[in-house]
Amino acid sequence: MFGFTQTMKGCIGIAMHATYATIGQCGWKKGDLFNPRVSCIENNPRNITSQDWRTAINEAGLTGSTCSVSLPPSILQHHVLQLPDMVNKELTEAVGWELADRLGCDRELLQIDARRLGNSGDVLGVSIDQSTLTSILEPLYTAGLRPTMIEPSCYALARILSMQHRRIADRASVRAILDFSKDDSAMMVLAGDDTVFYKRLGYSGDSLIDAVSLHVGVTKDQATRMLAASDQETDEAMSRAVRDATRSLHEQIARDAMKCLRHYGVTSRGPIPSELVVTGSAGWNRNLSEILETACNMTVFPDWEIEYLKDIAKTTSRCFGWQAALGTSLSFCEGNDRRQQSDTTNGVAA
């Protein structure tokens, strides 16, 4: 496929969320992302028209017609199953029948995919009914785009956070990931660039805003600004009010994160995570990070402290979901092929 010394240009990445969509495109060259472009469409993805897509892509300056699409659990249902070892085709078929039974749907009406999570026997199965998928893709086709891959948003996030962890040797680098977005959240564990643990959590950035709004007695817009400003430490009284309002929810998140890590530690046969990366559109909050660090007993830091994401995060931080959009932009570069290339590329680091 592509060697690490070569320039790789990404396709158009489309990250859909519950109430908005993010589009982006970037390339990868010698250990760095380059020419990242990201833009948001603030509308329910099911209501975005072909003209909306054309306008957004032109205004963002994205090029080409090939695109990859990532979908969140609110659209693409995620299920973690326990299944015995079997070849990929049989695994997908078994997951399909299991999910059809769980959902009470006709198997023929569902689109199914599945991927093993490490060596624990867990399988992440994803499903979407054909009519929903068609309603999402049809405006893209009409806009002149050519979708070549549909994937869960967690795969896109794992990819963008693992661009320097793609060699076989990097599988010893195990990181916990808390994806905390505006309308969803999940815990993951990555070994190299492979997802070896996944669990959806019942929290969201909106729930933090609601907690501040209720506790302080302000509007949701004011609560949003207070939550953002509390990280700046310029107003101690306001920061303390936000900390008090969100402490209970942050402690619940930390407890569930710890449970996830314990479950992974018991069921996996690999190394334990040494650090926790917080990502997602509502991810970083210093109060949450302090509680997570204490509960999980590991270093906690935001995604923008990853070296190749530092400059990008400064310019795209106001665009919700930029991580998934850029991650799915690079979806053509699959992990196994990259690792095979990297082991024979004159010692160039991944």
Residues 187, 100 within the same domain: no
List pLDDT tens digits, range 296-345. 899 999 998 999 998 887 776 668 889 999 999 998 765 444 443 333 33
Residues 49, 157 within the same domain: yes
Task: Identify the domain containing residue 301 by its residue range.
Answer: 172-305
Residues 338, 217 within the same domain: no
Overall number of domains in the chain: 2
* Ramachandran quadrant class, 321 (left: phi over 0; alpha: psi -120 to 50; beta: rest): left
Three-state DSSP class for 8?
A: strand
> Which residues, 6 or more positions from 325, have their beta carbon under 8 angstroms from its beta carbon?
13, 14, 15, 22, 23, 24, 38, 70, 156
Q: How far is CA 250 from CA 113, 136, 174, 291, 348, in A?
A: 33, 34, 24, 7, 41
Cα distance between residue 153 and residue 212, in whole Å: 28
Residues 279, 293 within the same domain: yes
Q: Is the pLDDT of residue 144 over 90?
A: yes
Residues 177, 229 within the same domain: yes
Q: What mean pLDDT is reported for the chain?
A: 86
Note the pLDDT of residue 59: 93
Residues 31, 134 within the same domain: yes
Tokens of 207: 């729930």
Taking the mean position of all CA atoms in its chain, how far away is CA 175? Answer: 14
Q: What is the pTM of this model?
A: 0.87
CATH number at residue 76: 3.30.420.380
In a domain, 213, yes or no: yes
Q: Is the pLDDT of residue 237 over 70?
A: yes
Ranked by mean pLDDT, the top range of 137-141, 239-243, 288-292 is 137-141
Cα distance between residue 243 and residue 54, in whole Å: 42
Residues 8, 149 within the same domain: yes
Residues 177, 282 within the same domain: yes
In a domain, 167, yes or no: no
Cα distance between residue 249 and residue 211, in whole Å: 8
List pLDDT tens digits, range 281-301. 777 788 888 999 999 899 999
- Report the 10 Å Cβ neighbour count for 276: 23
